[in-house]
Structure 1
């Protein structure tokens, strides 16, 4: 049997994690089985277990993947010549919310209250997203509002906290109002 290259392994892991996200969104974390993920991914059970130890490992991978996507978006905003102001930043973030990912995010938050490993991932991811928002808002304060960097960083902290809270509220709102059959376009 041919061996998978590292790039191919990563593609396979992504394929499995994306299938898991779709299943989690449709069925919920608790009601999704490895058999569901196997059917959704089109891969064998052995392939799933070759890349992930168990369903909890898949939950963690799905959470990391979704947060990595958000991090890329926010990083692009911060690096722009003219970073968006906090209202525009929130507007862009909420416009990019995928209902499927929103449902899984909310379920993952719930899982974080009882699973220490998921808790650590959610807390770490939330802290990283808030730090990126802080950097983006700091860049806006420096580049657009012409604040000095030290004062901009200090002033950006409470703004980033509020933007993060409003973004999480929008994720929850999207998760609750969207039908579970909906798929990303």
Structure 2
């Protein structure tokens, strides 16, 4: 039997992750079964389990992919030598998450699950570490260009602001998912006024 190439394995894995993202988005984490993901992928059970142990493993892969692309978005936004300001960093990440088609209510469900399920907590914390690193790097680049906002240096300023920026992102996600009539534009406008610029 011919051996499958690394490129083909990576492509198949990405195909399964994308199918899982669609399935989770359609039904939510709790109501999505491995059978749903397998049907969405159009592959055999063995093919999917050959890449992933189960639903948690799949969700962790979805989260890593979505958040990894946000890091790429932030790097690209700074590629012209003019790093985005903190509010723009927040908007780039949120716009990217929304562009993935991932239901924001799914993230809220997962945060809730993480409070009672240690394995899910590990999945969420792994995703948060990826996002936190992306935020720190983006903020550090901006503070290096704007030292007047970083009296203790760009590293300290970035580390101090990251929890606030992440909290604003979580607030946006939670309110978008939970509150009818939530005004996303007004929320982001408020963030622009509050954050260093």
Please tell me the TM-score bracket, short chain as reference.
0.7 to 0.9
Query: Partner of 2:120 in structure 1?
Result: 118
1:129 and 2:131 aligned: yes
What are the residue-to-residue correspondences of 1:135-154 with 2, within 5 Å?
A: 135-145=137-147, 151-154=153-156
User: Which stretches of structure 1, 4 residues or longer, exceed 4 Å deviation after superposition?
Assistant: 145-150
- Kindly state the Cα deviation for residue 150 of structure 1 after the two structures are TM-superposed: 5.4
Aligned alpha-carbon RMSD (Å) = 2.6
Distance 2:75 2:103 in 1: 19
Distance 2:114 2:96 in 1: 24
- Kindly state the Cα deviation for residue 177 of structure 1 after the two structures are TM-superposed: 6.5
**SS of residue matched to 1:51:** coil
Query: Partner of 1:30 in structure 2?
Result: 30
- Kindly state the Cα deviation for residue 151 of structure 1 after the two structures are TM-superposed: 1.5
Distance 1:101 1:73 in 2: 20
- Kindly state the Cα deviation for residue 19 of structure 1 after the two structures are TM-superposed: 0.9
**SS of residue matched to 2:97:** coil
Query: Partner of 2:195 in structure 1?
Result: none
- Kindly state the Cα deviation for residue 40 of structure 1 after the two structures are TM-superposed: 0.9
Number of aligned pairs?
Answer: 178
- 8 Å CA contact 1:21–1:104 kept in 2: the answer is no
> Gapped runs of 5+ residues in structure 1?
179-185
Of structures 1 and 2, the one with the larger relative CO (CA 8 A, separation 6+) is: 1
> Gapped runs of 5+ residues in structure 2?
181-197
> Could you state the TM-score of these two structures normalised by the residue count of structure 1?
0.81
> Could you state the TM-score of these two structures normalised by the residue count of structure 2?
0.76
Query: Partner of 2:76 in structure 1?
Result: 76
